[in-house]
Amino acid sequence: MPSLQLSDEGRLRHLLSIDGLPRERIVQLLDRAEALRVAAERGHLKLPILRGRTVVNLFFEDSTRTRTTFQLAAERLSADVVNLDVARSSTSKGESLLDTLATLAAMRCDLFVVRHPQSGAAHFIASHAPAGISVLNAGDGRNAHPTQALLDVYTIRRHKGPDFSGLKVTVVGDVLHSRVARSNLQALAALGVGELRVVGPRTLVPEHLDELGVQRHDRLDDGLADADVVIMLRLQKERMRGALLPSEGEFYRLYGLTRERLARAKPDCIVMHPGPINRGVEIESEVADGPQSVILEQVGNGLYIRMAVMAQILGDQVLDSEREGQSA
């Protein structure tokens, strides 16, 4: 089945999901992010790569954090940015999703960064997008959050090197409802990670993850043994409907990452979290703020990854400008 994400010539037209993205593409994006980081460290914070292009943040779900990062990424590339807060837009007055899109498309916007509460929303929008319009999935329901996964594997690469085959990575928490978890598992599998483990109560972990070669563990201690990387997920209250957990307290008792528990992992195990963190629910403050935590670095890396993705989607002609920025 032809991928919706890639154009006929094999260019990245949309970024909807890590699922279906070849390894080389992922590595290419990580390399590009690295180049942008280097340019920034040399003082080239703002690059003219996307000057004259318009990026629209189409957020159907509240998220000041992520939207701000995308906005900043677009502005650092000199794009014009439009923020569409759907709650106040005409979509809440009954205008259909596609009509909203068509209106924006008529105003010559190049890239839609979309966050939506339903799985498949980005795919739906991309499959109806007119030619010349690209879609970047900033999170759709529980399905995918590709830029989060890219920044996570980029972070891992910076600490553990490009060869993932010897790594043991453990993902802990509400995997069932987590698009971050889904995208991360797919990215790690694509990059050939040695061992992939998932830890959580069975009400919050899907049964059918064997496709990706994932081991499920009921107990955190088993899942953390000799881990090189642990990714803690936020307990997503807004996504849980019905009785999936008795209490946050019990979750912390069973799955909370404390210093004591972290000691089961390798001494140089890095601690990750997509944020925002719930202190005392999935992670102990001392761990979140401790020497093994790379949580704040993830946020910074997210900016370069998003810049890299936007630059990649909106055209390869930008490569020359970047190189100029690097060598100057």
Partner 1 sequence: MRPILIRRALLQPQAQRVDVRIADGHYQAIGASVPALPDDQIIEADDLWLMPGVADPLTRLREPGQTHKTTIAREARAALARGITWLGMAPDTQPPIESRAVLELVDNRARSAGGAGVRAICAITRDQGLAELAGLQSAGAALAADVGTPIQDSGLLRRALLYAASVSMPVLLQPIDLSLQGDGVAHNGPVAARLGLAGIPVSAETVAVARIVLLAEESGAQVLIGPLSCADSLPLIAQAQARGVNVSAMVSTLQLSLNELDLYPFRAYLHLQPPLRTEGDREALLQAVRHGLISVLCSDHQPHDVDAQLAPFPETAVGASTLDAHLGLGLRLVQRGELGLAEFIERACLAPRRWLGLAAAAFTVGSPADCILLDPHRDVALTISTLLSGGRNSPFLGWRLPGQIRLAVRETQCWQPESAT
Which residues contact partner 1 by CB under 8 A?
A: 1, 4, 17, 19-20, 96-98, 116, 118-121, 123-124, 128, 140-144, 179, 182, 206-211, 241-242
Burial of 31: CB neighbours in 10 Å, binned 0-12, 13-18, 19+: middle
| CB 118 to partner 1: min, Å | 4
Could you tell me if 133 and 159 are in contact, meaning their C-beta atoms sit under 8 angstroms apart?
no
Q: Nearer to partner 1 by C-beta: 52 or 94? A: 94
Q: Nearer to partner 1 by C-beta: 179 or 197? A: 179
Could you tell me if 26 and 12 are in contact, meaning their C-beta atoms sit under 8 angstroms apart?
no
| CB 151 to partner 1: min, Å | 19
In angstroms, the Cα distances linking 259 to 43, 173, 210 are 38, 17, 30
What's the angle, vertex CA 302, arms to CA 296 and CA 308, rounded to 5?
155
**How many secondary structure helices (H) and strands (E) does the chain include?**
12, 9
Q: Nearer to partner 1 by C-beta: 206 or 315? A: 206
Could you tell me if 230 and 170 are in contact, meaning their C-beta atoms sit under 8 angstroms apart?
yes
| CB 207 to partner 1: min, Å | 7
Q: Nearer to partner 1 by C-beta: 48 or 120? A: 120
Q: Nearer to partner 1 by C-beta: 67 or 142? A: 142
| CB 104 to partner 1: min, Å | 16
Rounded to the nearest 5°, which phi and psi values hold at 183?
A: -65, -40
Closest alpha carbon to 105 in 52, 54, 49, 61: 54
| CB 244 to partner 1: min, Å | 11
Half-sphere exposure in the Cβ direction for 87 (13 Å, CA): 4
Could you tell me if 173 and 234 are in contact, meaning their C-beta atoms sit under 8 angstroms apart?
yes
Closest alpha carbon to 69 in 308, 233, 251: 308
171: CB partners within 8 A, 6+ apart: 181, 184, 185, 196, 197, 198, 199, 230, 231, 233
Rounded to the nearest 5°, which phi and psi values hold at 194?
A: -65, -55
Tell me, what DSSP letter sits at residue 54? E
Question: What's the 3-state SS for 222-267?
Answer: HHHCCCCEEEECCCCHHHCCCCCCCCHHHHHHHHCECHHHHCCCCC
